[in-house]
Structure 1
Amino acid sequence: MRNQIIMSMLTGATVLVSTLLGAAPARSAAPAQSAAGVDVPAEFGSDWHDPVTAAPPVTRPEHAKACEVTVAEAQFRDFTPYEGTYAPPAGCGKRWSKVVLRLDGKVKGRQYDRLGHLHIGGVEVFRTSTPQPSPDGIAWSVEKDVTRYSDTLRAAQPVEMLIGNVVDDTYTGVLDVKVTLTFYVGRPTAKAAATVPDRVLTLQDGNTLIAPRNSERVVAEVYATGSGGGCEEYWYLTVPETAPYSCKAHGGPYREVQIEVDGQLAGIAAPFPTVWTGGWSNPFLWYVVPGPRAFDIQPIRYDLTPFTGLLNDGRPHRVEVSVVGVPEGQSGWSTPVNVLVWQDEKSAHVTGALTEVRAGDLANSSTYTPGTEHRLDTEGSHRLTVTGHVDTSHGRVTTTVGRSLANTSVHTWSDGENPDALDARWSDDETVTVDGRGPARTTRTQRLYTMDGTTTLGAGDRLRTVLTLGDRATVTETYGGRRTAWSRLDDTYTGDATYTAFVPRDQRHAVGTTRERYRLYGTGGCYDRSLVSVQGVLTEDRRAC
């Protein structure tokens, strides 16, 4: 049907999904001027500001010797990976206070949003998606602190990078990408050093882990992304088979990423609802300001330390990741795993035991209500507590990890999926308590993700999308019950964009305003940056701290 909008997919395939609500905002009759004095065109042209995010840059050590190494340099025009060899930097030793990855990319013409990854020695050190280009061309960059992968980076390693795409007469954009690593010589602070593992492992044969026998802390990283040219790219909009909607899933939109050790549930997490740069039927929302995490996809972290005593027996153990809500064997999710290990250097073998695994019932219900306005109400929740101890050279250490997930969403749509709206929130609360010599140390992390959006196809095939996304987290550290550190993150994106659908690009007469404000403050200081773009022009870049 003409009023079902085709959303762009990372693989270049398309899927019929929703169009969502509201009257289109009026088009400007003539160029306007922003409060900052920047000329704003009446509508999007053939070029716009390079993509920019409000997220803070990676801090770098001052007055430290630095060495830069090029890890990958390629022009991606198909689904052939770049393959090369990484060598540690000459002249900067093997101990670094910080390692910073930087991707610089450029592309012009027409291209979909694409998902990419970088592996060094089999370890996934970076996962990203790409912006969509202007006809005249754009450039963008991404930075990431990769100090925690220092163990991998101390030796020569094979490199594999892929940003799969299609280049033909229609999709002409070739992704020209360069990735570098900058190494800073010196000793990290004691707190920073504690975050850098002794070993970084990958799973053998996809699901087998053999841990060092003197491990005392184990954390798994899972770069979980729903993508791949099907409805799992928009998993939060899926409905049960009984509801009349174009994107269906076995049990509705509830998703939960689980990790198991030898068949035993070891960790649960809510996936972040990433919106790629073609998402919600409207690329004009994302041309300048992408959604949170779109360019730097963060892994889910699971503290598996309670299982360390079991893992230290020198035998292979099965570690498997699955996604609740996706039928077994169905494609649509990628879940590569890294395993970070901290070792007891004074022990050859650290013994211990898993003492408790207490999982609550998984609640997952979606209720469909038919009518002139179709409605799907979804509620999901789950709890897990795991406790274990290890007997180290510095005494017995007991670790308890508790995690609590909750998801509520209201999805409404009319016949023809026009309008189509979603109001959803996901909470993921985690508490890790480490009790050994001295008072217990507790870290509590409260995550909240929100999505509130509507798309509508109005008169003259004018498609309008209005969307707000939120990425929030509060972290509190206590020692013996007294707070020692805290931080609070609030990354909020809002967008409102309209264009004429079903016509060539130069006839879309698109208008749009996007905003992002990223605030991070606590005992470590304050960061506050706001961006505003109108018709592709960056009209505000303000810092408040």
Structure 2
Amino acid sequence: MVPGDFVRHLAATVLAVTLAAGLTARAAADPVVGSTNVATADPTVPRPPGQPCVVTLFTNDTFDDFATRPYSYTPPASCTGAWSKVVLEADFSVTAGRQYDRTATLWLGGVNIYFGTTQEPSAAVSPAWHVERDLTDYSALLRNAGQGQAIIGNVVNSTYTGVIHGSARLLFYPASARARAADAPDAVYPLGSDPVGSTVSLNTSTDTLSRTLTLPTNVERAYLDVFTQSQGGDEFWYTCVPDAYAAETNECGGGNFREAEISIDGQPAGVAPVYPWVYTGGIDPYLWRPTPGVQTLNFLPYRVDLTPFAGQLSDGNPHAVAVQVAGAHGYFSATAALLVYRDAHAKQVTGKITRNTLVGQAPTPTIGDTLVTASNGDVSGAITTRLDRHFVIEGYANTSHGRITSTVTQNTGFDDTQTFTINSSTYRQVTGQRTWSDSKSESRLGNFPLTERQLHVSYPFTLDYNQQLASDGSTSAASTVHQGYRQRDEQHLFGLLAYGANVDNTVDSQDTLVFDANGNLTSHSGQQSAQAFAFHDTLGGCYRASLTTQSGAVASYASGKGCPDGANRVSWFAHPDGAPSSSLLPGR
């Protein structure tokens, strides 16, 4: 856009925001005190005004083996025009009994449309839960009919008896005067090779999720949505230590630094931090009944801005876009989708990368230790892992609006301390970890500033695992976990703040397991947890919810406390869950 176009666009956007700001978010069902069913404080996806068209993907499918569950998709015949929003809704349950947590993914045309895990049941509780994902930025994918599949690999036999059921549907909200058409990407490309969709296993740091694409010759902006889920020996990567200390500390090796590395044609193009998700069977299953950890049932992707490469991607040649996980140690399940905006008034966009300081910055952390091993074998002290990086990637694209220069500046950091106390009666490991990223994406027309996007994310994580051996040979294992997801997202136009939003989601949980001298679990005690979710934005939007649990049941729940008039109120275009969006503002 030329500056005059941007001024008109800004005026229209401000009007749309003003008209939309008073709308309220759709409320989720409140957890019930005393209930043992799944309970979270997470917000649902806010909805625009008007009635949606609904397309069912599957209804009450049964997942009792590792076979995929295919489905066919056809766009809604009665909502063929522009959409203001598209939302995935899915409902899952598992029968009472014994069952592991399972990975759950939904796909369409090779693209992931949902990624999460399942709640573990108990002998007396058959949990059910609801998830939602804003798929508005995937509208281009949903314009065409296609094949999809649900994948929830599950084992059902005489030991593992929990049968999983699920249903899913897409809701399409037509654009209107009160809810403008979304400024969605023009194309969505999966990186995986499966035409219907599945994850790729990354066992080592050199394994890649990659696809070579010949893109349209008028790419104007590009983004990559990345999921990296820890599996197998990497499930508890956040507790691992470098190989040199594994035997001494009786821990998994491979270190505890993980980071997704994005490249284009082998050139570093960005990084995505890895969230330390804990699944509902993780560490101590009672920790997560009835409230799971942060995002456990519904992961959020991390969006990487690849816009500086727009000119390079538009040259008509094939380009390899790839994802690797630094530190992967058997293994990570990965998937990614490339989102592309095209210049509607140009057949050919040209340009190139002019600066890339990420090149040559290897993701190699610094390791330190104060471990001391006494003559009797007792171990005490700490192992630290640190990495701080700063990089700038800049490129220009000659578009129908003129030469647009795009710059991505990012600071990323990882700080981990593993403290050990190991002797004849005690094995205690305290994990203190924080991953963070501060990024800024800027676009300029010559020297004229157009847009700026700032994103700050922080993933604090603490695990205190304290195992004590009693004189009768029995053991107790007390676990305390703190998880956090913090995000500040801002969009600036012409140097002025147009919109900003904050998300803060924390879960704290504790429990103690007791085992007899033969290692059999005999009891557990002290289960309690708390979740607090807070969102607010610069338009006065506010969402707050909190809950506590005790002995596997909801003990308290509060909603709206701390918001104006004690009520949650969020604009329909907001992302109170922290989900990524190419634009924080509604409409074109």
Calculate the TM-score normalised by the size of structure 1: 0.85
Partner of 2:75: 88
Return the match for 1:470 from 481, 484, 500.
484
Matched-pair identity in %: 32
SS in 1 for 2:140: helix
Partner of 2:19: none
User: 5 Å matches for 1:188-227?
Assistant: 193-194=182-183, 196-203=184-191, 205=193, 206-227=210-231
Deviations 1:429-459 (A, max 9, x none): 1110111275332111111110122122234
Unaligned runs of 5+ in 1: 1-35, 40-47
User: Cα–Cα, structure 1 residues 385 and 187, in superposed 2: closer, same or farther, change >3 Å?
Assistant: farther
Return the match for 2:148 from 159, 176, 181.
159
* One-letter code aligned to 2:467: L
Partner of 2:98: 110
Deviations 1:25-60 (A, max 9, x none): xxxxxxxxxxx9966xxxxxxxx6211221111111
Partner of 1:287: 289
Question: Within 2, Cα distance between the matches of 1:385 and 1:396?
Answer: 19
Partner of 1:314: 316
1:539 aligns with 2:555: yes
Deviations 1:132-179 (A, max 9, x none): 112231111111111111111111111122111222211111111111
Report the CA distance between 1:66 and its aligned residue.
Answer: 2.9
SS in 2 for 1:224: strand
Report the CA distance between 1:68 and its aligned residue.
Answer: 3.5
Q: What root-mean-square deviation, in Å, do the aligned CA atoms of Structure 1 and Structure 2 show?
A: 2.4
Report the CA distance between 1:217 and its aligned residue.
Answer: 0.5
Report the CA distance between 1:504 and its aligned residue.
Answer: 10
Higher mean Cα deviation, 474-483 or 261-270?
474-483
Contact in 2 for aligned 1:96/1:188 (Cα 8 Å): no
Question: Within 2, Cα distance between the matches of 1:501 and 1:119?
Answer: 42
Contact in 1 for aligned 2:238/2:257 (Cα 8 Å): yes
Contact in 1 for aligned 2:514/2:521 (Cα 8 Å): no
User: Cα–Cα, structure 1 residues 188 and 152, in superposed 2: closer, same or farther, change >3 Å?
Assistant: farther
Contact in 2 for aligned 1:97/1:188 (Cα 8 Å): no
Contact in 1 for aligned 2:41/2:531 (Cα 8 Å): yes
Report the CA distance between 1:406 and its aligned residue.
Answer: 0.9
User: 5 Å matches for 1:495-514?
Assistant: 495-501=509-515, 507-514=522-529
Deviations 1:395-424 (A, max 9, x none): 221110111111111102233771111111
Report the CA distance between 1:387 and its aligned residue.
Answer: 0.6
User: Cα–Cα, structure 1 residues 356 and 101, in superposed 2: closer, same or farther, change >3 Å?
Assistant: same
* One-letter code aligned to 1:199: A
Partner of 1:385: 392
User: Cα–Cα, structure 1 residues 155 and 407, in superposed 2: closer, same or farther, change >3 Å?
Assistant: same
Deviations 1:57-102 (A, max 9, x none): 1111223343242346521122211112112223222532211111
User: Cα–Cα, structure 1 residues 325 and 70, in superposed 2: closer, same or farther, change >3 Å?
Assistant: closer
Report the CA distance between 1:471 and its aligned residue.
Answer: 0.8
* One-letter code aligned to 2:526: V
Report the CA distance between 1:365 and its aligned residue.
Answer: 1.4
Partner of 2:535: 520
Partner of 1:420: 429
Deviations 1:292-339 (A, max 9, x none): 11111111211111111111122211111111123xxx5301221211
Partner of 1:11: none
Partner of 2:366: 365
1:401 aligns with 2:408: yes
User: Cα–Cα, structure 1 residues 65 and 480, in superposed 2: closer, same or farther, change >3 Å?
Assistant: closer
Contact in 2 for aligned 1:284/1:510 (Cα 8 Å): no
Contact in 2 for aligned 1:86/1:157 (Cα 8 Å): yes
User: 5 Å matches for 1:26-425?
Assistant: 49-71=36-58, 73-107=60-94, 108-136=96-124, 137-187=126-176, 193-194=182-183, 196-203=184-191, 205=193, 206-227=210-231, 229-230=232-233, 232-243=234-245, 244-250=248-254, 252-279=255-282, 281-326=283-328, 331-359=330-358, 361-362=361-362, 363-371=364-372, 372-415=379-422, 418-425=427-434
User: Cα–Cα, structure 1 residues 492 and 183, in superposed 2: closer, same or farther, change >3 Å?
Assistant: same
Partner of 1:5: none
Report the CA distance between 1:238 and its aligned residue.
Answer: 1.0
* One-letter code aligned to 1:322: Q
Report the CA distance between 1:381 and its aligned residue.
Answer: 1.8
Unaligned runs of 5+ in 2: 1-30, 194-209, 373-378, 564-588
1:483 aligns with 2:486: no
Question: Within 2, Cα distance between the matches of 1:410 and 1:375?
Answer: 7
Contact in 2 for aligned 1:67/1:92 (Cα 8 Å): no
Report the CA distance between 1:367 and its aligned residue.
Answer: 2.0
Report the CA distance between 1:476 and its aligned residue.
Answer: 2.5
SS in 2 for 1:125: strand
Partner of 1:19: none
Report the CA distance between 1:484 and its aligned residue.
Answer: 2.3
User: Cα–Cα, structure 1 residues 95 and 455, in superposed 2: closer, same or farther, change >3 Å?
Assistant: same
Question: Within 2, Cα distance between the matches of 1:101 and 1:426?
Answer: 29
Report the CA distance between 1:192 and its aligned residue.
Answer: 7.0
Report the CA distance between 1:488 and its aligned residue.
Answer: 1.5
Partner of 2:201: none
Report the CA distance between 1:246 and its aligned residue.
Answer: 4.0
Partner of 2:11: none
SS in 1 for 2:224: strand
* One-letter code aligned to 2:159: T
Deviations 1:183-226 (A, max 9, x none): 222259788723x1111112375421221111100111111111
Calculate the TM-score normalised by the size of structure 2: 0.79
* One-letter code aligned to 2:140: D
Contact in 1 for aligned 2:289/2:553 (Cα 8 Å): no
* One-letter code aligned to 1:159: G
Report the CA distance between 1:288 and its aligned residue.
Answer: 1.3
Question: Within 2, Cα distance between the matches of 1:487 and 1:342?
Answer: 24
* One-letter code aligned to 1:303: D
